[in-house]
Amino acid sequence: MNLAELAGRKIREFGEYVTLIFEDNEYTNVQMHEQSKRFAGGLKRLGIKPDDKVMVLMPNCPEVLISYPAIWRLGAIIVPVLFLLEAHEVSYIAADSEAAAIITSPEFLYKVQEARRNAPSLRHVIIVGDEQHPDTILFNRLVEEPEPVNSIYPTKDDDVAALLYTSGTTGRPKGVMLAHKNLHAQAINTKNTAGDADRGDVSLVVLPLSHSYGLGLLVSGYVSDRTGRAVLLRWFNLEEVFRAIEKYKVANMAGVPTMFIYMLHYPEADKYDTTSVQTWLVGAAPMPLEKLREFEQKFGGVMHVAYGLTEAAPGVAAQRDSDPRKPGSVGTAMAGVEVKIFDENDGELPPNSVGEIVCRGDNIMLGYYKMPEDTEKTLRGGWLHTGDMGYLDEDGHLFIVERKKDLIIRGGFNIYPKDVEDVLYLHPAVAEAAVVGKADETMGEEVMAYVTLKPGAVAKAEELIAHCQSRLAKYKCPRRVEFLDAMPKTPIGKIQKKELRKLAAQQG
């Protein structure tokens, strides 16, 4: 199948309806579909053909939602790129993917220049907006293409639909190859996991559509049994988030923990009505339990925790309405996904035993682009080895403990940073916390905590250490606490422990 088929199917089933609201403008599904077919005609005239890679480097906007199905319609492959990446990262992705074209905004042209020098395959730069720039093609001119592409290239299920590059937290970025069947399976899994739950028909989309999380939500919308509307924000902006929730009576919002923590501490939050929200979906990183409870109490609705990764397109586990809520759990395996816990020899572990989380299903990636050894290692035995540590309880509920590389071994004892972070979040002054290991000649590693404080809050390192010692075994407690104005984060908002470990190594 080809994912470009899905939009047409939904039009045939439901007819025309408003599907998108962006900057207070409404767009119907038929308008978006027709523009996408014309844009495909423009791309075809440029010479874009099956299996060509087309980079999309833009903040959230309707043009992204027009571009993706247009690229698929031609049998080409989308390479979504977070606009927050640095120029050298964009250049690396362009060269590694051998992209034939890039669709971007004028403000990011300076990032594209380096890519043009380093990626000889990059033939076309397509610019959104009305201002012409040298050696570029206007997006709108291509959308005005008089000959739309009405046919859809007959891709096979295992043909690559998207090449998404990981953030490179464990080395250079890897290109994750997601097939048409992977993204379709993820959408069906999401639909079947949700079941008949009525979550309302207005969703707020703040996650980057260039991230696996945002892309997964996009494709899920194509297979939904409802005619929902998406309120799309260009990027995460606190005032705009609250304004949109109140104005459009948003029922659902998906985000990462950092977004929800920022919302919780936003001083103007009480000015807005958030009672329309039924569900807050949090994924991409662990949500501290104390913050989750505080958020629900303040804003209402129910926060559902999910777990996934780019290599799984991205859904692995999620909380269901019908399941009992277990504090700290990310729910059970999504429909269509099998989850197990393996030891270091790839043997299955019994319930409540900590090991590596592995999974399999039709949503699992084909592999890493041009990296056969890494692919074989990660997909060995037919299971995706996530690199995350966790356990399944006797009821099949999944609990995330830590990433393998984040484990701290102090004097022979294993310390999971999340255990310490959860306790730090209980302190009323703490806004964000991250714990890493610091090399120590005697103990091998020592526990080091980095903390940001809530606006106007005051706390001392000794106070936070004592707070931990009152709730944890002493060997788990941080020996040192450092305060930061802001945590180093990935473009999507995940705390970068790699950078904190570097900082710890530099500090005496």
pLDDT digits (tens, 9 = 90+) for 482-498: 999 999 998 778 899 98
Where do runs of H (alpha helix) occur along 119-230?
139-143, 180-194, 212-223
Looking up residue 434, the CATH number of its domain turns out to be: 3.30.300.30
Interatomic CA distance for residues 73 and 37, integer angstroms:
8
pLDDT at 167: 67
Residue 332: the pLDDT is 96
- Examine the domain organization and report whether 290 and 373 are in the same domain: yes
Comparing CA positions, the residue from 114, 112, 144 lying closest to residue 125 is 112
Rounded average pLDDT over 438-444: 84
HEC string of 266-325 equals: CCCHHHCCCCCCCEEEECCCCCCHHHHHHHHHHHCCEEEEEEECHHHCCEEEECCCCCCC
Instruction: Look at residues 349, 378, 403 and tell me which one is the last residue of a structural domain.
Output: 403
> For residue 480, what are the domain limits?
407-506
The Cα–Cα gap between 489 and 486 comes to 9
Instruction: Give the CATH number for residue 116.
Output: 3.40.50.12780
pLDDT on residue 198: 67
Q: What is the mean pLDDT of residues 444-449?
A: 92
Percent of the chain with pLDDT over 90: 77
Question: Could you tell me if residue 354 is inside a domain?
Answer: yes
Is 186 part of a structural domain of the chain? yes
Nearest one of 430, 446, 449 to 438, comparing CA atoms: 446
| Last residue of one domain, picked from the residues 113, 138, 155 | 155
- Let me know if residue 417 belongs to a domain: yes
Q: Is residue 170 part of a domain?
A: no
Q: Residues 227, 297: one domain?
A: yes
169 belongs to a structural domain: no
> Among 343, 374, 403, where does a domain finish?
403
pLDDT of 168 > 90? The answer is no
Under 8 Å between Cβ of 181 and 156: no
Domain count, the chain: 3
pLDDT of 169 strictly over 80 = no
Residue 172 — pLDDT band, cuts 50, 70, 90?
confident
pLDDT at 217: 76
Q: What are the tens digits of pLDDT across the range 63-104?
A: 999 999 999 999 999 999 988 888 888 999 999 999 999 999
Average pLDDT on 325-330 reads 88
Residue 197 confidence (pLDDT): 66
Residues 305 and 438 placed together within one structural domain of the fold? no
The predicted structure's pLDDT at residue 120? 93
Q: Answer yes or no: is 297 within a domain.
A: yes
Q: Is residue 29 part of a domain?
A: yes
Whole-model pTM: value is 0.87
Residues 109/83, Cβ–Cβ less than 8 Å: no
**Residues 244, 306 within the same domain:** yes
In whole angstroms, how far apart are CA 372 and each of 168, 212, 312? 17, 22, 18
For residue 177, being part of any structural domain is answered with no
Strands (E), 144-212: 160-165, 175-179, 202-205
* Average pLDDT of span 353-368: 97
| One domain, residues 77 and 195 | no
Q: Is 50 exceeded by the pLDDT of residue 170?
A: no
- Averaged pLDDT, 272-300: 90
What's the one-letter identity of residue 476?
Answer: K
Per-residue pLDDT tens over the stretch 394-433: 999 999 988 778 889 888 778 889 889 999 999 999 999 9
